[in-house]
Structure 1
Amino acid sequence: MGALLYQSVAMGFHLCCATPRDQVTELIARMTEGIDDLRPAVPFNLLPHHSHIGRYMTASTRTAKPHNAEQVTDATDGNPYTVDSPAETSTELPDALRAALGVDGLHYVAYYAAGVPTCTADIFRHRALSAHFGTSTTPQQRRDKYSLLGRLLPGVTRRMDTSLHALLDGRIHQIVLNVEQGAVYFQHLAEGHYLVAVSLDHSRLAEADRHLGRLAADLARE
């Protein structure tokens, strides 16, 4: 019924806030102001002055595009989508995952059942994402890493649920890991079913979050 936001301010300094779910946007704005006020007073600060939360607010204030409007396919790229699912899987699930992707939002999404990825989709081959790959990091290496991460995150979520049970009501439905390049999302759907999604672009995390929310809602109705 709510959200817990945890933000690094500097080495050894953190800001943690909780809010009802319908007030997350307001809390993000207030945390941004608080972090900007705190950082000048923190010595030896090695982090960028503008926080991830500030970037999130900047992105979220842009005009939201209609669903599926961000599925840009550069004709020179051919088909940028890579979808992996068993032959017996119905077309509805792969189509739903593919529809959630876009160069301005989610770049990878996987549907897990019983801890196993039953369908994955990404647009790593899109020319607009080429800057995120090179000789040391290939699309397949990222797929392998995210697949392993998807198997580990349920255990992390269970441990967090156990640790926070005495303090917070309910269970964790979503975890967002703000990593060096973009963000990784864990989205609980039902018992044993969840999504793992990735955005490689820090400036578009608000769009990515909206697309993941729509996808989760669509799958919950099926």
Structure 2
Amino acid sequence: MKRDADAAGGGLKTLVAPHAGRGYDYLIEACRDTAAGCPGIRSLTHLTNNTVDFAVRAAAAEPFRGALPWDDEVEVEGRPAQRFVRWVLETDATMRQLRTGELMRVLVVTRSGGMQYSRLRDGQYVVGMATSGPDCDAMDTVMNDMATDLRYRLFDLGTEFPGGDPAQHKRALTNHVPLTLQATTRDQEDENRLRGIWPRHLNPYDLHYAAYYRDGTPVCAGDCFEHAELSEALVAVPAQNRRAMYRDLVFRLQASLADLAQILEPLTTDPVERLVLDVQQGAVYLHWLDAAAGAFVVGVTVRQKQVAVAEERLGDLIRDLRRR
């Protein structure tokens, strides 16, 4: 197998840890094929129990700054991935109380780059790094495909639809759905505007919950958790408890943003603009409108096949929020 790039073509460089022998050949080849098909990827790092096994990196990419002279190159490239996996596992432990399954995909995006975490199976992960915001979306798509293919071909595991089912499309909403809605702004005109936006986008099919925060404090939050269409999907946690759990999760995520910024620092120092926490039963999305002002929107779906559609719907809600 060709583990190093053609010097003339730029291409890819494969960095392999001393313990990673021939048993990793199929995984290395899968990462090389994935990175080759997505030029915006800086690197893909494979980890087992958070030990770096190998990294496939763009040959033209410079090693991260601050490396000690005795560091192995694969360790230097893999260190942000290790820290990201640790952050994801801590977040996963927090999210387990929601009873929506294991955290299997995480995407964090800034203007100038970002990272994606894919769980292949228990204790085995791939972390990708991209060099621009748009490249993060392209990386996310090919990594979701790779994770699905590896689970099926290599590990004989089922399809989990990371990122949702590409065959699903956003349906037109013709009827308003009864919502549980709370607005806490003191401006009556602003409250009326917010109360008009939420029913246009929340529904029992894809986007089930949305909350708008200013100065890190919720201003408007609504959901359709009590809709009959969701009764079976949400039977494990009562609606009122679920609302409180999502508020607590957002509080914890706000507290850990500094850690996430430090993890991203070798790649980018720009503020996080988007965070996707994709579990086995749906996803939680955070989109920042103004990071300095603490303005952001949270969205939730509990239908896995609708993960991409629900985020698209959340984007529609955000566009409504930006209109004055």
TM-score class normalised by the smaller sequence: 0.7 to 0.9
Q: Which amino acid aligns with 2:264?
A: L
Q: Is the 8 A contact 1:72 1:102 kept in 2?
A: no
Q: Which residue of 2 aligns with 1:203?
A: 305
1:38 paired to 2:38: no
Residue of structure 1 in register with 2:245 after alignment: 145
Deviation string, structure 1 residues 73-116 (Cα, Å, up to 9, x no partner): 5xxxxx63111113744211122223221222210111112222
Change (3 A) 1:117 1:163: same
Aligned to 2:161: 52
The answer for the alignment partner of 1:6 in structure 2 is: 117
Query: Percent identity among equivalent residues?
Result: 26
Partner of 2:226: 125
Unmatched 5+ stretches in structure 1? 74-78
Structure 2 residue 322 is matched with structure 1 residue 220: yes
Give CA deviations for 1:4-53 in whole Å, capped at 9, x if unaligned.
Answer: 321101222212224444455643443244224433445xx7xx432433
Residue type of the partner of 2:223? D
Following superposition, the deviation at residue 71 of structure 1 comes to 6.0
Partner of 1:70: 173
Counterpart CA distance in 2 for 1:28 and 1:114 is 30
Q: 2:273 aligns with which of 173, 192, 195?
A: 173
Cα gap change, 1:72 to 1:104, in 2 (>3 Å): farther
Q: Aligned partners of 1:189, 1:122: CA distance in 2, in Å?
A: 21
Shift of 1:3: 4.5
CA RMSD of aligned residues (A): 2.5
Instruction: Show CA shifts across 1:122-167 (max 9, x none).
Output: 1112111111233x52111111111112222222223201221222
Counterpart selection for 2:203 from 83, 102, 108: 102
Tell me the SS of whatever aligns to 1:16. strand
For 1:76, the equivalent position in structure 2 comes to none
Verify the 8 A CA contact 2:183 2:194 in the aligned structure 1.
Answer: no
Q: Secondary structure at the match of 2:127?
A: strand
TM-score (norm 1): 0.79
Change (3 A) 1:71 1:102: farther
Aligned residue identity for 1:200: V
Partner of 1:132, secondary structure, is coil
The code of the aligned residue for 1:81 comes to L
1:186 matches 2:248? no
For normalisation by structure 2, the TM-score amounts to: 0.56
The AA in structure 1 aligned to 2:183 is S
Report the Cα offset of residue 169 of structure 1: 4.3
8 Å contact kept, 1:97–1:110: no
CA distance in 2, matches of 1:157, 1:113: 16
Aligned residue for 1:15? 126
Name the residue aligned to 2:85.
none
Q: Is the 8 A contact 1:108 1:122 kept in 2?
A: yes
The letter of the residue matching 1:84 is Q
More moved, 8-17 vs 195-204: 8-17
Secondary structure of 2:125's counterpart equals strand
Separation (CA, whole Å) in 1 of partners of 2:136 and 2:185: 40
2: CA distance, partners of 1:180 / 1:38: 17
Q: Residues of 2 paired with 1:180 and 1:35: CA distance?
A: 14
- Asked if 1:155 is matched to 2:258, the reply is no
